[in-house]
Amino acid sequence: MPSIKTGKIRKITYREAILEAQRIALDNDPAVFLFGEGVGGPSGVFKTTAGLKEEFGLRRVMDVPVCENTLTGIAVGAALAGMKPVLIHMFTDFMLMAMDQIVNHAAKYKYVFGGKTGVPLTIRAIIGGREGAGAQHSQPIQALLSHIPGLKVVMPSSAYDAKGLLLASIADSSPVIFIEHSWLYDQEEPVPEGVYLLPLGKAVVKRSGRGITIVADSVMVPMALAASSALDKEGIDAEVIDLRTVKPLDYETIRASVKKTHRACVLDFGYKCCGIGSEVAAFLAEECFDSLKGPVIRIALPDIPLPASPALEALYYPSVDEIITKVRGAFHRV
């Protein structure tokens, strides 16, 4: 698959970008096939697979029974045999039933066989429960997955990134967990037509600044940008880094930013204990301590399951106001 072959730029949503990436991959490479629970329904998986079954047929786009571990084992076997499966587990919670296949098989075979074979498997899954989704349809387990050698974990924050990173994930020879955030599905931005691949493991500076570095993933990126715009009016010039990929992390982009700003705040849409934010903070403490004027601030989800009550749910998730308050405190701290 070529890395750059774009056409005109038009505005599409995050969900449309994911749908378009899958259509391109299916059209360009006969080794690609798509399957998962709900894939072939009338609207597909949250409209991200709508129409693909009709366009490519049941041999390329398959709705399957509820049997997560078996389905993942089939995907691993197909990848070892030269196919490029895209498996949709819908919510990340459902992957927990398939951890044996993901951790003990997909992540290991490249090493077991001395690098002679890859496992070009892409697993799409969704985080971001809302409106009473409850504790078993909302768990952000990206840190758990990132802990496993052999896996790559991608978390796009925009429609442009979603398309380019999904195409890159499908083309990669390693197993990739592609985590989408449901709150972003209707976000719209300019996205080129055609093929483009964004490098896995490379962060991007979404906003330049010299006062404090804000490192963010997934939906926390637009929240960080909204907070930084408000803080700019107070004279706090924040630089916002979008991690894009949380495994592998782009440590050098983070290092370069903190050497310039001397302050850091990490926003992680995951649990605070042992999360991605913890890893970034530990890296800064070990490798960038002399550059820091104060402690690294972390904002993440509380270490409790998501309440099903909408009122409690509203209190559970971080807000732009919380980011503003904590970044302001970190900036003014001596």
Active site residues: 68, 137
What would the two tokens of residue 228 be? 């930084």
Q: Which amino acid is at 139?
A: Q
d(CA 149, CA 141): 15
Q: Which amino acid is at 288?
A: C
- β-bridge mates for residue 190, sequence order: 11
Residue with tokens 């706090």, as numbered in its chain: 236
Contact 83, 31 (CB under 8 A): yes
Secondary structure class of 247 (helix, strand, coil) = strand
Within a 10 A sphere around the Cβ of 273, how many other Cβ atoms?
Answer: 12
HSE-up (13 A, CA, CB side) for residue 190: 4
Give per-residue burial for 95-110: e unless 16+ CB within 10 Å, then b. bbbbbebbbebbbbbb
CB-neighbour burial class of residue 111 (10 A; exposed 0-12, middle 13-18, buried 19+):
exposed
Q: Beta strand 152-154 with 245-247: parallel, antiparallel or unpaired?
A: antiparallel
Q: Beta strand 204-207 with 238-242: parallel, antiparallel or unpaired?
A: antiparallel
Q: Beta strand 61-63 with 4-13: parallel, antiparallel or unpaired?
A: unpaired
